[in-house]
Amino acid sequence: MATYKVGKNATVVVNSLTSEVEDGNYTTETDKDETTNLTSAGFYSQIATIKKASGSLSLVYNSDNAPNYNEGDTVTLTISGSGPGFTGSVFIDKMNYKNVSIRGATKVSFDWTSNGAYTKS
């Protein structure tokens, strides 16, 4: 049986508070506008317009360093680790708190949506 270590592959920084990632993902997408016209030679054409990122993170933190953010807050989020990184301003859509844990870890999870420009690394 493999030993699972939270935060081994990824960490998250939310407003300068570093937490270890238990699980998480994010998706990026773009809207597009049709630009078909006389110069497109009868072919459908389009351009990318508004970009958006959204995701969900499940974090483990030290109870002495509890999260200082809530649903409805706009925060700076940095995801780093073995997968694709992310840095940008995000809106916290929803939070879920796990108050009881067999292993004694304090956990919080939240859903987020980008709020302005972001970078992927």
For residue 94, being part of any structural domain is answered with yes
- The reported pLDDT for the residue numbered 98 is 79
For residue 68, being part of any structural domain is answered with yes
Total structural domains within the chain? 1
3-state secondary structure of 16: coil
For residue 43, being part of any structural domain is answered with no
For residue 42, being part of any structural domain is answered with no
For residue 62, being part of any structural domain is answered with yes
Rg (CA), the chain: 19
Domain that holds residue 91: 10-27+48-120
Digitized pLDDT (tens) for each residue of the chain, 121 residues in all: 333 445 567 888 999 888 888 889 999 999 999 999 988 888 999 999 999 999 999 988 766 677 889 999 999 999 998 788 999 999 999 999 877 666 666 788 999 999 999 999 8
Residue among 60, 66, 35, 63 at smallest CA distance from 49: 35
Q: Distance between terminal CA atoms of the chain?
A: 32
pTM score of the predicted model: 0.81
